[in-house]
Structures are given as structure tokens and as C-alpha cells.
């Protein structure tokens, strides 16, 4: 059996469905739709964004197999430098938030959130006029660090 190709004229409609599946916490279905779009328009920037977000949505699913290399690979395909930096921040943030679920990973979560904050600071300077997204993400990361009382990893003193 072979996959069927969607019609190029339906891309906007199917991407709306992908967004809907993301909002329903069904990233696998959104990912599948994006793959169908890539089959007829391999460089579709809207599909790339949805695909990247759906891949990072998997961090909040307990048994999902997240593929960080694939996320980085697809972020690199974004044409806009602003978007590459901003979505790298999203990737780092979501990865860090997943670490918060494990008390032993709190310091790693802190480091990940700080890396995301650095990306959001860069993205904020490059953001299109009236785009507050990097500011909102930056503030959210900072509030999480404060709320969870996250700290950098402590350096261990020599035992002797």
C-alpha cells in the first residue's frame, strides 16, 4: 500500500486540522498531517512550524519518543533567522519543562530554561514590530525558575 497525496490546494485547510489536533493534545496526528503537506510542498514554512511544535508537544506526553535531532534538523529549515532562534528557544524550554517532572533533574531544567531565555532575548531584538512572543516566553521561563525555586547545578567540593 502507498500513501495518498493531498491536493496542494487543500494545504491551508489541512494545516488548520493540524493546529486543531495540536490543541487537542494529539501531536502524532498533527505530525502526520505535516508529513502529508511536505510530500507536496517540502518547504512549506507554516507546516514546518506546526511540525516543530507538534514534535516538541511530545515532551508533555509521558511515553512519547521525542526526537531532538529531528527537531533541530527541522528548525534549521526555517527561512527566517528570527523563527530559527525563537523556535530553538521553544524547543529548549519544552525540553527543560519535561525535566521538571523528575526532582533529580531540577538543575538540568534550570540550565535548559536559562538557555531558552538566552534565545528569547536574541529573538526579542529581531522580532517583527508588535510581536511580543519572545517576551512572553522569556517571562514564562523566568516565572517558572522563580516558582520552582530552580538553581544552577552545585559544584561539588573535593572530598579530600
Domain boundaries, the chain: 1-79, 80-151
Report how far apart, in Å, the C-alpha atoms of 99 and of each of 45, 119, 150, 155 are: 29, 19, 12, 20
pLDDT at 3: 97
pLDDT tens digits, 53-64:
999 999 988 777
pLDDT at 129: 93
Q: Are 46 and 22 in contact (CB under 8 A)?
A: no
pLDDT at 113: 98
Q: How far is CA 105 from the centre of its chain?
A: 19
Grid coordinates belonging to 149: 525555586
pTM reported for the whole predicted model: 0.92
Tell me which residue has cell 517571562. 139
Rounded distance, CA 127 to CA 23, Å? 25
122 membership: H or E segment, kind and range: helix 106-126
Grid coordinates belonging to 132: 511580543
pLDDT at 65: 87
pLDDT tens digits, 100-119:
988 888 889 999 999 999 99
Q: What is the DSSP letter of 132?
A: -
Which residues of the chain fall below pLDDT 50?
none
pLDDT at 153: 83
pLDDT at 159: 53
Which fold would CATH assign to domain 1-79?
1.25.40
Amino acid at each position: 500500500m502507498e500513501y495518498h497525496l493531498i491536493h496542494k490546494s487543500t494545504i491551508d485547510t489541512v494545516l488548520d486540522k493540524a493546529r486543531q489536533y495540536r490543541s487537542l493534545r494529539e501531536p502524532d496526528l498533527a505530525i502526520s498531517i505535516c508529513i502529508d503537506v511536505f510530500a507536496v510542498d517540502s518547504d512549506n514554512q507554516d507546516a514546518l512550524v506546526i511540525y516543530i511544535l507538534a514534535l516538541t508537544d511530545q515532551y508533555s506526553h509521558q511515553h512519547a519518543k521525542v526526537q531532538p535531532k529531528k527537531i533541530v534538523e527541522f528548525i534549521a529549515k526555517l527561512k527566517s533567522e528570527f523563527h530559527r532562534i525563537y523556535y530553538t528557544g521553544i524547543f529548549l524550554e519544552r525540553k527543560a519543562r519535561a525535566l521538571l517532572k523528575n526532582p533529580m533533574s531540577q538543575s538540568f531544567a534550570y540550565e535548559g530554561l536559562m538557555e531558552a531565555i538566552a534565545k528569547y532575548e536574541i529573538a526579542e531584538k529581531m522580532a517583527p514590530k508588535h510581536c511580543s512572543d519572545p517576551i512572553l516566553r522569556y517571562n514564562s521561563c523566568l516565572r517558572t525558575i522563580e516558582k520552582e525555586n530552580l538553581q544552577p547545578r552545585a559544584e561539588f567540593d573535593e572530598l579530600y
